[in-house]
A and B are shown apart, each in its own frame.
Chain A
């Protein structure tokens, strides 16, 4: 691992005024730093920031971005009102990783594409313009929707697929302002610049996740198809919520994961 500065931020303004990589659970950042795929000069530990809590408001449920996946997966409000989200969380990763990983970090996790993770190979996401070996190489688990000639990397988050179906939003906080962005607009398709994955500006962090009030979200589920029964990423997945009245489906939300390069 390369040399880097480590700092602990004690308030949001200092965090958003710093330059460097934010460290929450570390399950993406430390992994990629050890591989050399990410080499930040500065690492800022944000775990002391006041970005926790699950709060029910009139507009829906607000979840602090530092809430751990394992806590959210067993939260009664989430299980009862948004079961697709609870299910997606509980089939993610492993118990240890769920204890470490923040929901904000989960949404921002890097692709599992082996070429991105292997610094000895070309990768347009890691090194723009270097090429993409999947064309003739390993591409079994890669995206088939939303891709470009530059990148077919898949987005690995189960939670993001569920949250897309629920039309969740993220509240982003920067040094001077804050804004809410729907998750459907937050993620970017790779296009010609696969290194730009989302709408975050430098220094901005995800402060909160907002699940809109949706009564029929209680009728929802998450399906994950994968090579192993547990502790494995999806080959493909779907989050579905249905507004069922009597014998009729009046409305539906469907989001697909893993075949798309970002949840659709």
Chain B
């Protein structure tokens, strides 16, 4: 059943009733599977080993889609990694990750890139240690951290708008 199908207005408190299939129950109504259903490209994937990197941008800030109910973002702006490219051109952070080989299996990469974009916009790439601290919410099971830091610094130095 389409989880957004049933909406009632009850005075000033709008109510929606949600039903989930058993298969979707574990991820339930968190944002990730709802977006995965909505977008054509699976840019924010669930990982087979259970680890999900789900950093997205919500109202201009980086957040975790796995802890965000789809219903709670109704009418708000959400950006996933697919939203970074512009007219077919990769975002400078995406280019830097490719050039610096900032990934191995790729499962954390969407979130690493989204976090990197955010921290550069926040002005938090003054040192490598600052980058590591600002990226501490993005874990890489394959240990690509050193190249990820290089990618962030390369994007920081490239002179292009982030």
Contacts and interface: CB of A to CB of B under 8 A. Distances in A.
Interface of A: 1-11, 14, 18, 23, 26-27, 30-31, 33-34, 43-45, 47, 70, 93-97, 99-100, 229-231
A94 B138 CA distance: 8
Nearest to A93: B137
A26 B64 CA distance: 10
B62 A5 contact: no
A30 B12 contact: no
Kindly list the 9 A-B residue pairs having the minimum CB-CB distance in the complex, ordered from nearest: A94-B137, A1-B28, A230-B136, A99-B61, A231-B136, A6-B71, A30-B67, A7-B15, A10-B12
B72 A95 contact: no
A10 B13 contact: yes
Contacts of A6: 15-18, 69, 71-72
Contact of B137 (A8, A34, A43, A231): A231
Contacts of B71: 6, 45
A26 B27 contact: no
A3 B27 contact: no
Interface in B136-158: 136-139
A43 B68 CA distance: 13
Given A1-B29, A26-B69, A100-B68, 11 more contacts: A1-B28, A2-B25, A14-B11, A23-B69, A23-B72, A45-B71, A96-B55, A96-B137, A100-B63, A230-B132, A230-B136
Contact of A34 (B13, B28, B63): B28
Contact of B19 (A3, A9, A26, A44): A3
B118 A95 contact: yes
B30 interface: yes
Given A26-B67, A43-B69, A99-B63, A1 B20 contact: yes
**Interface of chain B, main secondary structure:** mixed
A23 B68 CA distance: 10
A18 to B, nearest CB: 7
Interface residues of B, number: 39
Contacts of A43: 69
A93 to B, nearest CB: 7
Nearest to B24: A1
B82 to A, nearest CB: 18
A26 B68 contact: yes
A236 B71 CA distance: 37
Contact of B18 (A4, A45, A47): A4
Most chain-A Cβ atoms within 10 A of its Cβ — which of B71, B72, B138? B72
Nearest to A230: B136
A99 B18 contact: no
A7 B74 CA distance: 12
B35 interface: no
A231 B55 CA distance: 15
Contacts of A14: 11-13
Given A23-B72, A96-B64, A97-B64, A1 B134 contact: no
B72 A26 contact: yes
Contacts of B15: 5-7
A33 B13 contact: no
Given A1-B29, A96-B62, A96-B115, A30 B14 contact: no
Contacts of A30: 30, 66-69
B119 interface: yes
A25 to B, nearest CB: 8
B99 interface: no
A230 B133 contact: yes
Contacts of B139: 231
